Structure 1
Amino acid sequence: MSAHAAAPHPAPLLALRGVRKSHHIGTPVETEVLHGIDLTIEAGEFCALVGPSGSGKSSLLNLIGLLEPPTAGEIRLDGMDTAQLPETARTRLRGRSIGFVFQFHHLLPAFSALENVLMPASIERGAASDTDTARARELLRRVGLHDQAHKKPGELSGGQQQRVAIARALLLAPRLLLADEPTGNLDSQAAQQAFALLREFNQDATHGQRSACLMVTHDEHLAAQCDRRLHMRDGRMCD
């Protein structure tokens, strides 16, 4: 091989091939809700997933997030075929490599903002370390809530709670961030602030490589600010 040959192109961070998903929806008969999805996302990409309600966006996110396996097809994360992993290995990979932000923040009301941000480390390692706590405080500072760390979710506004949820999703520096309508419950100003935070962290290479983000949204203004817009309809990707 020539000394000047190009280096092989790295595999995409996420690659789906022929992914299908069927459910029992109120009857014994299986109904297919995802029909042969092909999709790739590169490290550092920020993609919007758009489409009408019922088109399969949340079902697709559940599969990509390793919350359930596909009925058929491959889902590769960093080249690893996650569909072939046993449940315990999928759970481990999910906790280590994937962060989640939802429309409803799912913060634990009895815990402070800081304790909520630390929750992924507590689940992953049994207890948060001093390093985890320092990172959680730094994330709260970066989302503008360093002085609210002691407050419980009920003492925070909706926009502040979503910022806590974003900090929580980023605690373990995931390779892939999945956001399911993260601004759908916020007013336009808070929505733009939350999106800006997701974008900022997506572009941050502090931990060696930028995280990718896949965001489900109905907000066309936010979708237009993403690197790429992916369209779904009736359980299929479309142009």
Structure 2
Amino acid sequence: MSALRPAAAGPVLELAGITKTYNPGTPVATEVLHGIDLSLAEGEFTALVGPSGSGKSTLLNLIGLLERPSAGRLLIAGRDTGQLDEAALTALRGRSIGFVFQFHHLLPAFTAHENVMMPALIAHGVADPQIEADALALLDAVGLKAHAHKKPTQLSGGQQQRVAIARALALRPRLILADEPTGNLDTRTADDIFALLREFNHQTRCACLIVTHDPRLAARCDRTVTLVDGRLVI
């Protein structure tokens, strides 16, 4: 676990009056998010639920700095993202946010070890012994040190998702965004993956926002927020 460090204290995510409109200023303008207010503190483990089409993916894209809101303020680790240019947004995303998806999106040509190293390689531009050691420690933490040199096609679905979680933690992010991380897994493996995310949440004090359709998993989170027709119901 030497690769993991506790996050610094302080608010991690703050949304105030966030809206998102597609095709603004045209006859087909569509506002899909309406005045979203949300805050996540250090160590919070929150489920985001809601019916299909409610705007969950759009909200996650905004929080993940993949899109910009149409209005409102979005702060990550105390930084007002509306004041940042694209280069600064990219740097903040890489440093402060880890992503886990329903489908692992591992790079098939690289080993598990290399996949976990990838965020640090992108951030620093070169491999060094510390990056390699940190990635191996993360694989050990998810129970896959013995599989470090296997490629994704040589791993089960659950093992691939464990590698994806280790990769998401590579830069010790303040915030983990997980979009249906167990949606493609059987119940037992889903429970294992959820428990692993929860363990890292406790150990590193990172904030976690988990999109899930599984009421069993949502019930095990610290709190649940529901998005309905682009509005949050806390």
Same fold (TM over 0.5): yes
Aligned with residue 211 of structure 1, among 197, 206, 210:
206
Q: CA deviation at 1:58?
A: 1.1
* Structure 2 residue matching 1:118: 3-state secondary structure: helix
The residue number in structure 1 matching 2:56 is 57
Shift of 1:79: 1.9
Letter in 2 for 1:185: N
Query: How many angstroms apart in 1 are the aligned matches of 2:22 and 2:131?
Result: 39
Give the Cα–Cα distance (whole angstroms) in 2 for the partners of residues 22 and 11 of structure 1: 30
- The gaps in structure 1 that reach 5 residues or longer are 1-9
Identity of aligned residues (%): 65
Q: Letter of the aligned partner of 1:17 in structure 2?
A: A
Find the aligned partners of 1:63 and 1:124 in 2 and give their Cα distance: 22
Q: SS where residue 204 of structure 1 aligns?
A: helix
Aligned pair 1:234/2:233, yes or no? no
Q: TM-score, normalised by structure 2?
A: 0.93
Q: Deviations over 1:164-193 (max 9, x none)?
A: 000000011000000000000000011011
Alignment-derived partner of residue 41 in structure 2: 42
Deviation at 1:224, TM superposition (A): 0.5
Cα drift, residue 235 of structure 1: 0.7
User: 1:106 aligned to 2:101?
Assistant: no
Q: Which has the larger radius of gyration?
A: 1
1:12-23 matches, within 5 Å, as 12-23=11-22
1:2-32: CA deviations, max 9, x gaps? xxxxxxxx8522110000111239x862211
RMSD: 1.4
1:142 is displaced (CA, Å) by 1.1
- Alpha-carbon deviation of 1:157? 0.6
SS at match of 2:203: coil
CA contact (8 A) 2:77 2:96 kept: no
Could you tell me the TM-score, scaled by structure 1's length?
0.91
Equivalent-residue separation in structure 2 for 1:162 and 1:217 (angstroms): 15
Deviation at 1:100, TM superposition (A): 0.2
In the aligned structure 1, how far is the partner of 2:149 from the partner of 2:79? Answer: 39
| CA drift at 1:74 | 0.4
Aligned to 2:31: 32
Q: CA deviation at 1:78?
A: 2.0
Partner deviation per Cα, 1:34-69 (whole Å, 9 max, x = no partner):
111000010110000001111111110110111111
Structure 2 equivalent of residue 224 of structure 1: 219
How many equivalent pairs are there? 225
Unaligned 5+ runs, structure 2: 1-8
